Structure 1
Amino acid sequence: MQLKQSSILIIDDDQDVLTALRLLLKPFVSEIVVEKHPSQLVSILSSRHFDLVILDMNFNGLINTGNEGIFWLKKIKDITPSADVILITAYGDINLAIRSLKEGASDFIVKPWQNQKVIDSVKELIQNKKSKGKVAKVAIDNFKIVGESEEINSVFHKIHKVAPTDANILILGENGTGKDLAAKAIHENSNRKHKPFVKVDVGALTSSLFESELFGYKKGAFTDAREDRKGRFEAANGGTLFLDEIGNISLSQQARLLTVLQNRHITPLGSNEEIPVDIRLICATNLEISELSDESKFRKDLIYRINTVDIIMPPLRERPTDITLLAKHFLDVYSEKYAKGPFKLDSSFISQLKNHLFPGNVRELQFVIERAVIMAEGTLLTAKDLSFSSLENKVEKLKSEDTRLDTVEKNTILKVIDKNKGNISKSAKELGITRAALYRRLEKYDL
């Protein structure tokens, strides 16, 4: 869709705002319609189509909810679900504006705005209706997340919008979908990119290690505390703290974490000194939000604290058009690493990849391509060069085997790991054993 052929609807009860935006955007589009009364939205949108709607977030009308923009945004999306909507907000309403992205807004602009940023946002949204994937190409170069599908494009767009803010982000998705890459992408495109990015796998921390690792300790705080040590919160001060596997921490750990996030200061073990911390928080989990919101397992007040915006990383089976692109990307990576190739991909190789469900997602595809490069005899890769994980086959095979104790244990371990999509911490917890004990059994049964 060409910009000069597009039309825009602007709704704001401030005539000065309407005039300023109309004069600013008039040279770039064919038509601009302005409206002071949001109550006219339904009749206007029902009678004609607009390529873009620019909507104020606050009106002096009958709906005194404090977030009128969200109300009218939902009305717009009900009438025209595909409409792009840009919300206008004051600086003090940034959190509300970020919430609007979750409700379907395409972007927001902050008053007083910079004219060029408004123009760029309008151009991007209108032109992207014709040229899908523009954001994805930028994201590939900067974030190392590879893909051009609509599903991954949606992720890129959300990262692009939330990264410059300080909003807390919750990244959801199965193992191997790239949650850690998304976290790094948010940090690298934020105002904190020159400050530390600190990752912690909190799901792997025992109760005794949780506080010392996150909040630090003073010399003599416990038997092996031979010197002062900063915790991860303090190490990330000024930057980004990424808490991976947040869904696996206990209720007591959740309570301690919530207190720190509310007060924005930590107290190291063995000290009474409160140390202020300034961090941008990103969390990730392979649990679905419905599972995470189970009050008996995860505190709802902590969910609200860590989930200003959620980003869902799609499984590879839901973005099959990206498989070939990803395969070629990993082929380049491992050809260089092992000094082999250059390789060509036979149609049977691509077909075999596309027929596989990839329960391990992008990470599994990465390992499949690495194996193919290592084992390849020639430079043309065919279907016979592919080998996939035998975990699922083992589960099916063991179902029909004998009931000896070691076989039953092996069968149970495989089924639980498969159920939890490879999450060792969650599997160990469900089996009632420690991670170390589970690893010993995996080694014992050569799994």
Structure 2
Amino acid sequence: MPKLLIIEDDAAFCQMLQKFLIRNGYDVDESFTAQDAKTKFKASTYDLVLTDLRLPNYDGLQLLSDIKEVNPKTQVIVMTGYAEVGSAVEAMKKGAYDYISKPFTPEEILMQIKSALNQETERQLDSAPKDSHKSENLVVDPQDDRVVIGISEASKKLHEYIKLVAPTDMSVLITGESGTGKEVTARAIHDNSKRNEHNFVAVDCGAIPKEIATSEFFGHVKGSFTGAVEDKKGHFEAANGGTLFLDEIGNLSYENQIQLLRALQERKIKRVGSNKEIEVDIRIVTATNEDLTEAVENGSFREDLFHRINEFSVEIPSLEERFEDLPLFADFFLKKANRSLGKVVQGFSGDVKDIFKQYHWPGNLRELQNVIKRAVLLTSGDMVEKAALPKEVYKSKESNAKVDNFSKADYEKEQIVKALKQSNFNKSKAAKLLQITRKTLYNKINHYNLDL
């Protein structure tokens, strides 16, 4: 019988939810305060914790880190009645399985709990010895934190790089277009490393105001500044022994870059307001969709930090570059959407498959996943039909059909030339307009033999 802990300061709601879950076959404990909860999850092992994001006298995100520090395998679902999607997403980056907004129905929370517990079971099966004949034609799942191999050469090469670098302690810089699955790759590196029993902490550097970045990275002590009502661990301490993933690292201010470099060099940190040094043992994985070499050249990114984080680099291919994998990704995201939405859609109509092949997917895997989830929600029959797709996806095919001999390559060449003209042939600006890296732009210019 799965063992659950509910952390909720609303006693009546907590007890009602506890009774409902007990009736559905779960062993459920309750806590009305963070302190009581900390005592319980340190004394007992829970399969899943259901916690309110807002608790009196304690930060819900910090409590999530506390839970993961005690037992990284415990699944956590965050409840919020504040419609703060940003905080809920941040909770997921810190290791929460998912979030659910209040008010919710009993069926909704039951589905979430079953899905979270099923995922942990699958993860345990994945870590067991595998049949050497098992198929390797698998997919990347950004939400379930799995990386598996596709059939394209680009996907196979990516997987080889992951297998090569994961067992080491080298710092890894992941580059690629937006939506290609950089965090998924970072987690795959962690999951295949000797640190996989410890925390994987993901941080979106672009979402941290520079004024509080020091506290976010290194923590603070009570009273060190206005609003510091209690001691708080930073991301470095939360990731101790494991992996710290810094997404969009190019967005860090120059001052924060200096602090980060010092921490990486010395492997020691100080909380804000404290003189005590704390040793940390972490692996750094970073990601960006910018050209950091150009940022180094123009002085906005420190060269010494760049070399520190770039012991090994991995470029994630765009969906266009691994187009053979599109059916695999589509089928996987369909199953995922069915599970998330409680649907049983069987597949895609022939027309939809053709539209998927014609569309150029500028948003990569993230766009594909969103399009499929929306389509599943709108589908009442067994198959996803054209009417369930956003107009921009199928209109692209229709406009292409109106032009004779207008191939995908012709379209791409036209877009590259248009972007270059619009940016006055500044390749860095053109790459940003096209939502690709400068390296990818150079490769495409050479591939199409564009005379510029």
TM superposition score normalised by structure 1: 0.56
Does residue 419 of the first structure (1) align with residue 433 of the second (2)? Answer: yes
Residue among 189, 193, 200 paired with 1:186: 189
* Partner in structure 1 of residue 300 of structure 2: 297
Pair 138,276 (structure 1): closer, same or farther in 2 beyond 3 Å: same
Give how far 1:232 is off.
Answer: 0.6
Taking the aligned partners of 2:360 and 2:318, their CA distance within structure 1 comes to 10
Is the 1:178–1:313 Cα contact (8 Å) retained in structure 2?
A: yes
Is the 1:135–1:153 Cα contact (8 Å) retained in structure 2?
A: no
Pair 342,299 (structure 1): closer, same or farther in 2 beyond 3 Å: same
Is the 2:149–2:159 Cα contact (8 Å) retained in structure 1?
A: no
Query: Residues 315-354 of structure 1: matches in 2 within 5 Å?
Result: 315-354=318-357
Pair 389,260 (structure 1): closer, same or farther in 2 beyond 3 Å: farther
Segments of 4+ moved more than 4 angstroms: 133-142, 415-418
Does residue 230 of the first structure (1) align with residue 233 of the second (2)? Answer: yes
Residue among 262, 265, 273 paired with 2:265: 262
Answer with 1 or 2: which has the greater Rg: 1
Give how far 1:301 is off.
Answer: 0.9
AA partner of residue 207 (structure 2) = A
Give how far 1:274 is off.
Answer: 1.2
Taking the aligned partners of 1:201 and 1:325, their CA distance within structure 2 comes to 28
Taking the aligned partners of 2:246 and 2:145, their CA distance within structure 1 comes to 22
Pair 151,289 (structure 1): closer, same or farther in 2 beyond 3 Å: farther
Does residue 313 of the first structure (1) align with residue 316 of the second (2)? Answer: yes
Which deviations, in whole Å up to 9, do the C-alpha atoms of 1:289-323 show, x marking residues without a partner?
44343341111111110011111111111111111
Taking the aligned partners of 2:263 and 2:170, their CA distance within structure 1 comes to 16
SS of structure 1 residue aligned to 2:297: coil
SS of structure 2 residue aligned to 1:143: coil
Residue among 269, 282, 285 paired with 2:285: 282
SS of structure 1 residue aligned to 2:220: coil
Is the 1:147–1:153 Cα contact (8 Å) retained in structure 2?
A: yes
Pair 287,419 (structure 1): closer, same or farther in 2 beyond 3 Å: same
Taking the aligned partners of 1:139 and 1:369, their CA distance within structure 2 comes to 15
Pair 416,150 (structure 1): closer, same or farther in 2 beyond 3 Å: closer
Taking the aligned partners of 1:388 and 1:307, their CA distance within structure 2 comes to 41
SS of structure 1 residue aligned to 2:150: coil
Residue among 164, 167, 187 paired with 2:167: 164
Query: Residues 25-424 of structure 1: matches in 2 within 5 Å?
Result: 137=138, 143-145=146-148, 147-387=150-390, 419=433, 421=435
AA partner of residue 288 (structure 2) = T
* Partner in structure 2 of residue 111 of structure 1: none
Q: CA RMSD in A?
A: 3.0
Taking the aligned partners of 2:193 and 2:321, their CA distance within structure 1 comes to 28
Structure 1, unmatched stretches of 5+, are 1-130, 394-414, 423-447
Which deviations, in whole Å up to 9, do the C-alpha atoms of 1:153-212 show, x marking residues without a partner?
111110011111111011111111000000110111100000111111112111211100
Pair 183,142 (structure 1): closer, same or farther in 2 beyond 3 Å: closer
Which deviations, in whole Å up to 9, do the C-alpha atoms of 1:132-167 show, x marking residues without a partner?
x97665988983446221111111110011111111
* Partner in structure 2 of residue 86 of structure 1: none
Give how far 1:228 is off.
Answer: 1.2
AA partner of residue 163 (structure 1) = A
Pair 313,292 (structure 1): closer, same or farther in 2 beyond 3 Å: farther
Taking the aligned partners of 2:370 and 2:391, their CA distance within structure 1 comes to 9
AA partner of residue 257 (structure 1) = L
Which deviations, in whole Å up to 9, do the C-alpha atoms of 1:384-429 show, x marking residues without a partner?
3321558x99xxxxxxxxxxxxxxxxxxxxx99983849xxxxxxx
TM superposition score normalised by structure 2: 0.55
Is the 2:152–2:325 Cα contact (8 Å) retained in structure 1?
A: yes
SS of structure 2 residue aligned to 1:363: helix
Give how far 1:347 is off.
Answer: 1.9
Structure 2, unmatched stretches of 5+, are 1-132, 397-428, 437-452
Is the 1:344–1:379 Cα contact (8 Å) retained in structure 2?
A: yes
AA partner of residue 300 (structure 2) = K
SS of structure 2 residue aligned to 1:241: strand
Which deviations, in whole Å up to 9, do the C-alpha atoms of 1:313-362 show, x marking residues without a partner?
11111111111111111111112332323423222111101111111100
